[in-house]
Structure 1
Amino acid sequence: MSRLARRHAALLRDLPLPVPFDVHALCEQVAARRGRPIRLLPMSGLTGVCGLWIATDHTDLIFHESETTPPHREHIILHELAHVLCDHHPAAGQALLPGLDPAMVRRVLGRAGYSSAEEREAELLASLIRQRATADHTLTGRLRTALDGNGCG
């Protein structure tokens, strides 16, 4: 198993997914585990990016494109959350948001602000989280059906 696959397996193993899956509930769980809030902030017209992670001294801010479909919006949030989970660092944070006080912002990540390897890792982890959530939901549904069918419900 590759180093990246082992890293993702460990991250997924330690990541409790809400059932039924809800990306907002997942963000709350990750925030509680990290001991710092995660705020999801919809924005329209994010220039050149679909999502953006800004880590201040006390809060993680995840901006996401609001003018898109719900599944795409969820994937954008999962992608930015994957950057948080992987503890990625920006390549050029101040260039993305020049008006922000650099003393307030610890990290800024947007599609233009991290390496290709980090982009691929976040994209893969976001997809794996969604895949696991779908599998968990399917398994839960099958268990309910089996229990209901046997008069155990």
Structure 2
Amino acid sequence: MRHPQLSLRKRCESILGRLDLTHPFSLDALCDRVAEQRGRPIRLHPLPKEAAESGVCGLWVGTASVDYVFYEAQTTPLHREHIVLHEIGHILFGHHSLDGEETDGRAPTVLGRTNYTTRQEQEAEMLASMIRIRTASAGRPASGGGGRDTLARLESAMGYERRRPGHHGS
């Protein structure tokens, strides 16, 4: 019996192996590399207010000449970056439409993220998380209390804000 998570991890590792991630990590550099591989630019834009209010936090619109990635602007910088990585995950996995059907090439590809229940969403989310983990740990010592910092970064990337004792927020 094949374990689906293991298979997904292996597919993500295969994609990661072709990315040549920079250290320190640069989202712009990653977008440039993916754009070069695809032969068309990636343009990053904040989501329109109406889309964000409807619960969408990220959106990829792929046309024949440009890939547009929209992200929720009213969140932490790390979460914004994670949203963009998620949408790039859709691009790198070659996802085509909301229901997984290929388009005829004339209609744009439109994928919006509101949940993680479909296979495509799980693939994009796993790849985004693996990019974040791989680039966050590059060049750091393997020991010395970094686990708590790593956990905080991952929680922040997933949109969870942890309050520190004595911190009352703004």
Provide TM-score, normalisation by structure 1: 0.75
Distance between the aligned counterparts of 1:50 and 1:113, measured in 2?
9
Of the candidates 130, 133, 136, which is equivalent to residue 135 of structure 2? Answer: 133
Identity %: 47
1:70 matches 2:100: no
The reply on whether 1:41 has 2:45 as its aligned counterpart is yes
Using the alignment, how far apart are the partners of 2:13 and 2:122 within structure 1?
Answer: 16
Q: Quick check: 1:55 aligned with 2:62?
A: yes
Is 1:122 the counterpart of 2:109? The answer is no
Gaps of 5+ in 1: 93-102, 140-153
Change (3 A) 1:105 1:66: farther
1:114 offset after TM fit, Å? 9.0
Distance in 1 (alpha carbons) for counterparts of 2:85 and 2:45: 13
Taking a change above 3 Å as real, the CA distance of residues 114 and 88 of structure 1, as seen in their structure-2 partners, is farther
Please say if 1:4 is aligned against 2:11.
Answer: no
Do the aligned residues in 1 keep the contact of 2:57 with 2:114 (CA within 8 Å)? no
Shift of 1:6: 1.9
Shift of 1:4: 1.8
Q: Residue in 1 aligned with 2:90? A: 83
- 1:107 alignment counterpart: 109
Distance 1:118 1:133 in 2: 23
User: Which runs of no fewer than 5 residues in structure 2 stay unpaired?
Assistant: 100-104, 142-170
Equivalent position amino acid for 1:58 in 2: S
The two structures, once aligned, show a CA RMSD in angstroms of: 2.5
Following superposition, the deviation at residue 115 of structure 1 comes to 6.3
Preserved contact between residue 115 and residue 121 of structure 2 (Cα < 8 Å)? no
Give the 4+ runs in structure 1 shifted more than 4 A.
112-115
- Tell me the matched-pair count: 131
Matched with 1:143 is: none
Residue 134 of structure 1 deviates from its aligned partner by 1.2
AA matched with 2:135: A
